[in-house]
Amino acid sequence: MQKEIMKSGCHNLLPAGVVLTGGGSQLRGTLETAGHVLGMPVRLGRPAVIAGLGDAVDNPSFSTAVGLVRYGVNRRRSRDHHSAGRMPLGGMVRWASRVLSRFKTD
């Protein structure tokens, strides 16, 4: 990861550090090790809240899934806006909730 950050030329543009998310970010010692290797602050990221999904996806493991749902909703809204229609957001949220609840671990 450090090699990619350095290659991108963004190392000096990250004074606040980096955010790790996803299932691997929850492994013991990951944040501390990343902070040491990268030489910058590192914190754990959680998915942004989507109304209707509740706490079922309030876990870094669901970041990609929640991000894809948000991307799909925003893309659909944009497309529907251009065609003067509106997407039924409630339907998308219910669908996403059903899909994501299958992955919920207790």
Helix axes 89-101, 63-82, angle to 10 degrees: 160
- What is the rounded distance in angstroms from the CA atom of residue 39 to the CA atom of residue 2? 9
**Do 38 and 58 sit in the same domain of this protein?**
no
Domain total for the chain?
A: 2
Q: What is the mean pLDDT of the chain?
A: 78
Q: What is the mean pLDDT of residues 63-85?
A: 75
105 falls in which pLDDT band (50, 70, 90)?
low
Whole-number Cα distances in Å, 41 to 16, 18, 21: 7, 6, 14
**Do 30 and 61 sit in the same domain of this protein?**
no
**Do 6 and 27 sit in the same domain of this protein?**
yes
Q: Is residue 60 part of a domain?
A: yes
Report the predicted TM-score, pTM, of the whole model to 2 decimal places.
0.57
Per-residue pLDDT at 36: 92
- What is the rounded distance in angstroms from the CA atom of residue 75 to the CA atom of residue 41? 33
Q: Which domain holds residue 30?
A: 2-44
**Do 58 and 88 sit in the same domain of this protein?**
yes
**Do 40 and 62 sit in the same domain of this protein?**
no
